Structure 1
């Protein structure tokens, strides 16, 4: 049985896609019944840079992940090949381009859409959901980089509910620890396993796994 392919996509830049993709991959290592792979189809290559840093810090044979890159329609083929031998394949996509994102969304079992709690992000999200719908791939929102201003967060939560888009209830805060851990080739679960960011990520992955398993 092939593994799950999860594509992280958002048409608006700056949504935290790469950070979320890396954290999903590491968090899934403790949940999955098999190995985890990451696939970078973003020409900017940020996920690849993170993985190279991880190799330097931990050693090439101790990253815990398989890593590949692809572009265009090669992303679909590469993702499906990886899914043959991996429990989960996490794909990081570029913003603002249907051409590169479409094959990765087409290959996916689920699309994970990070959204910051701003009206602009919600507007941009509509494009991503439309793209997923055209490829007949279910998509779900993840509220990311949530500031401590509860009123704005609640306002956006209400707007998300009004939009009708499905969303995980678990949220990730606007914490510097996420970016700091990425700079070390790691994640918050590794650099501060008892911290608030790590607990938020654990809650998110628990909910996501239930969602994915419940949809198959």
Structure 2
């Protein structure tokens, strides 16, 4: 059976795409049901930098993930090739125009869209959802870097409802531990396994696994 493909996409930069992609990959790989691959198609190469740091921290061959880089239309081919022998492939896309992101979205079974809970971030989300709809790909909006200010989050949730976006129940808080772990080539699951951020990540991974029908 061919593996499933997730594209983490958002037209607006600074949404936390790379951090979300890395954390989902590690959380789902930790379940041990199938091999997981990550593909960096963002020219900034942040996911690749994280993976290199991960190799240094854990040792070559002990990262728990497969890693590739690609770009443009080659991303679709790379993702589908990896899906032949991986249960899950996660693509980290660039915050650019339709032509840069469309191949990754076209190849995906699910597009995950990280959104910081501000109206400005939500405005950009509609563009990514529209691309996915044109390609017939399901989307899941994930509230990321959620601050303790409930009023602002409630306002954004209202706007999400008005736009009809599919939003994840799980949310990721605004925690410096996420960024700190990435700097070490790790994730919060490994640096603070019993913390709230790790719990949030595991809940999101479980929700995504259910949506894609992945084995427990």
Structure 1 length-normalised TM:
0.97
For 2:173, the equivalent position in structure 1 comes to 173
For 2:53, the equivalent position in structure 1 comes to 53
Provide runs of 4+ in structure 1 moved above 3 Å. none
For 2:201, the equivalent position in structure 1 comes to 201
**Structure 1 residue 31: deviation in Å?**
3.0
Q: Determine if contact 1:32/1:88 at 8 Å carries over to the other structure.
A: no
Q: Determine if contact 1:41/1:100 at 8 Å carries over to the other structure.
A: no
Q: Determine if contact 1:32/1:87 at 8 Å carries over to the other structure.
A: no
| Partner Cα distance (2:90, 2:121) in 1 | 22
Indicate the SS of the match to 1:141: strand
**Structure 1 residue 119: deviation in Å?**
0.5
Q: Determine if contact 1:102/1:131 at 8 Å carries over to the other structure.
A: yes
Give 1:175-194 correspondences, 5 Å limit: 175-194=175-194
| Partner Cα distance (1:164, 1:134) in 2 | 16
For 1:136, the equivalent position in structure 2 comes to 136
Unaligned runs of 5+ in 1: none
| Partner Cα distance (1:186, 1:78) in 2 | 24
For 1:127, the equivalent position in structure 2 comes to 127
For 1:66, the equivalent position in structure 2 comes to 66
Unaligned runs of 5+ in 2: none
For 1:3, the equivalent position in structure 2 comes to 3
Indicate the SS of the match to 1:90: strand
Over aligned residues, Cα RMSD in angstroms? 1.0
Structure 2 length-normalised TM:
0.97
Q: Deviations over 1:78-133 (max 9, x none)?
A: 00000000010000000022222111001000000000000011110000001111
Indicate the SS of the match to 1:85: coil
